[in-house]
Chains A and B, each alone.
Chain A
């Protein structure tokens, strides 16, 4: 096998954190390599150091037989390494086409950007991913998933020798993942090497040839995918044994809640947003929302939380008819909303982990009932421990945390706010396999304590495991509700397919 990218003895530290210590990493020509590890293991940092985003402290990088020292991600692109970083870094106000070609716009002979050429090439680029969108619309009119696909399209369009994808599938669903894999396989057959980072075990086993594992910034294992068992991979990542999850449905232990509904929505809808639907949630139950991307799950959450105003229907909270016109109103009613888009509506990057965790609770109490420093620290430390957030201290700025750990901070924020109704929109996105199970357990515990939960997840197994009831959506419409023994992945898929 010929090595295309070889890293030896690489180290990189940040104040208070040794992100990588003496890491070796090899990528062969024409292979798909999985890079795995827990949240904060150093995967993204390794990618960023290799592509010139960060400067390394020590170590060597060889690319295509040459010692290299990229000075910037653009430098790496020029040499033939195209990367999709974990935090999608596109310009939301620009059109899809502009985002795909920014920095390398096709020019007219007499100067000026050739817009027609740019748009038609952009259409081609997204068509390769089977994405049917209008490339002349601003990027921010599309969902996180589409934005993720656009950033992949951009990386694919740069013809490169090496393609690096840092959690490209975190917000995609099965069909899109399959489409991406088809493209990846084609690139591989053309001799292009791909590094693929993900927390989805199924996906690594489906697509990779080899797997490299990092743990706490050090090499923890290198495997050939064929013949590797899930258990071996997981214990290499965690550094300890891990009891794999059975297919049991924990949610069934919850029953379907008792007493009067906390929330009941009757024919609530909004034109062009979501068709009228009915929903009830009782204290002590987890209502799962299942559906494909763009099926309207987040839209339901936004109507319930007052982000958007419905134009028809009745919302009752505790039996009282209520009209919510802002999140503030929803919070006063005891709601909490852990949103799916952590960058856009989640983290406050320049504030500390501690401040990010207490902010929702503080907002709920009001500015004048200040949570004192000691109490803030106690709350933050409690959740750092409970959710296993990897950070040198609660004073670390949240922007310096790894992606999965940022996600945990957002979750902690809403747990700390102690709502009666908690809306969780993709709460485990980007979270590693060990923590995922912990969070799922936590959801069950919260329900047992009497919380009402609305649980949205693209991962069907998670919805099936945790929900006491599941509402199925399709094309911005609630098309069915499952409970009891009816809840299974196959039944959900069937419901979605049947009404097609």
Chain B
């Protein structure tokens, strides 16, 4: 059985075990430095608390983003706009929760239905994703350029929507989305898990997954086979937008306020890093599970730095180191050199 797993020609299987080992190593390192890192406690209010839970809770946003980013990345694209789209969605939610905040009015009373406060921002996020997708698939603008344009525009839009202010809305039901608990675990964790599971089901129980991979790897051949390549490509950007919107809602709910400048600032880079660490190929095979573990690796680095009270900059350095390791592993050239070096050592020994 084990042998079969290792012989599995799908390189992502091996890769996934490797990424998992990476996460384990980071956690293990923490265990060595300070065993109390792993303390998890059940509080009277039925909430489980501890660093491991923090990693999941704080990592939820990057996890959600990484799921959408994975599909875009697999089609041979990239989405730089997710952080800004988070802010736009957050701004929209703020406007609905507290429409009169500029006049200094408190939150609307009664509050609009929670479902509506979620649906409108998510629709806007999907619309922004659709624009990304159309620019890429129909107008044929390079993904990095198209979504860079959106990165600026959506951020600008978010700032305009709340006129550069940071509306707060403590205590409204909406904030549960970021602060609530369910069965002892924070709600964001459940949301991220649901996004992940649903996406896995939809991509693996239908042919969408393999279509995305086919389009990413050989668009022309896919077209010849009758796969609707433009629809698939646009679909991934719309979905990525949706994920960004959701991550945005989770974020601003957790803050109980929407800062149009800080919401999702630079987080797109973490999402992309998570996908790369997870092992998804740019234009080709993707692994959602890998991306989730990638996101958790990134989050556990931040949490570690925070817990050990090291300066924040350390986490940047750690992320860079992880990416370097990943890049080196992926480099064919390096592998060739390693094989060569190994062979020459062997032959020297033989002599």
Contacts and interface: CB of A to CB of B under 8 A. Distances in A.
B224 interface: yes
A348 B213 contact: yes
Contacts of A352: 9-10
Given A55-B339, A331-B226, A350-B217, A355 B210 contact: yes
A345 interface: yes
Interface stretch (B21-29, B102-110, B201-209, B257-265): B201-209
Interface string A363-384: 1101110110000000000000
A349 B206 contact: no
A370 B221 contact: no
A72 B207 CA distance: 39
B214 interface: yes
Contact of B224 (A307, A350, A393, A396): A307
Contact of B226 (A72, A327, A344, A395): A327
A344 B9 CA distance: 23
B225 A363 contact: yes
Interface in B195-242: 205-208, 210-211, 213-214, 217-218, 220-228
Interface residues of B, number: 30
B9 A396 contact: yes
Residue among B207, B218, B222, B336 with the highest chain A CB neighbour number at 10 A? B207
B284 A350 contact: yes
Interface in A296-335: 307, 326-328, 330-332
Contact of A327 (B9, B207, B217, B225): B225
Interface in B6-34: 7-10
B213 A367 contact: no
B225 A15 contact: no
Nearest to B214: A348
A328 B221 contact: no
Contacts of B10: 352, 395, 397
Given A349-B217, A351-B213, A371 B207 contact: yes
A346 interface: yes
A397 B214 CA distance: 13
A424 to B, nearest CB: 13
B207 A370 contact: yes
A409 to B, nearest CB: 12
B41 interface: no
A368 B206 contact: yes
Contacts of B227: 359, 363
Contacts of A339: 224
Contacts of B223: 326-328, 345
Contacts of B214: 348, 351, 355, 359
A143 to B, nearest CB: 15
A72 B332 CA distance: 13
A264 B115 CA distance: 56
B301 interface: no
Contacts of B336: 71-72
B9 to A, nearest CB: 6
Nearest to B223: A327
B211 A367 contact: yes
A100 interface: no
A337 interface: yes
B319 to A, nearest CB: 27
A337 B207 CA distance: 21
B221 A348 contact: yes
B220 A344 contact: yes
A103 interface: no
Interface in A388-405: 393, 395-397, 400
A16 B214 CA distance: 25
Contacts of A349: 217-218
B8 A395 contact: yes
A360 interface: yes
A457 B226 CA distance: 24
A351 B225 contact: no
B343 interface: yes
Interface in A52-111: 55, 71-72
A352 B8 CA distance: 11
A351 B225 CA distance: 14
Given A347-B218, A350-B285, A359-B214, A397 B9 contact: yes
B221 A16 contact: no
25 contacts: A16-B7, A327-B223, A327-B225, A332-B226, A344-B220, A347-B221, A348-B217, A349-B217, A350-B213, A350-B217, A350-B285, A351-B210, A355-B210, A359-B214, A359-B225, A363-B222, A363-B226, A363-B227, A364-B226, A367-B211, A393-B9, A395-B8, A395-B10, A396-B9, A413-B225
Interface of A: 15-16, 55, 71-72, 307, 326-328, 330-332, 337, 339, 344-352, 355, 359-360, 362-364, 366-368, 370-371, 393, 395-397, 400, 413
The 3 tightest CB contacts between A and B, nearest first, are: A331-B226, A363-B226, A367-B207
Given A16-B9, A355-B214, A363-B227, 10 more contacts: A344-B221, A345-B224, A349-B217, A351-B285, A352-B10, A359-B225, A363-B211, A367-B208, A395-B10, A396-B9
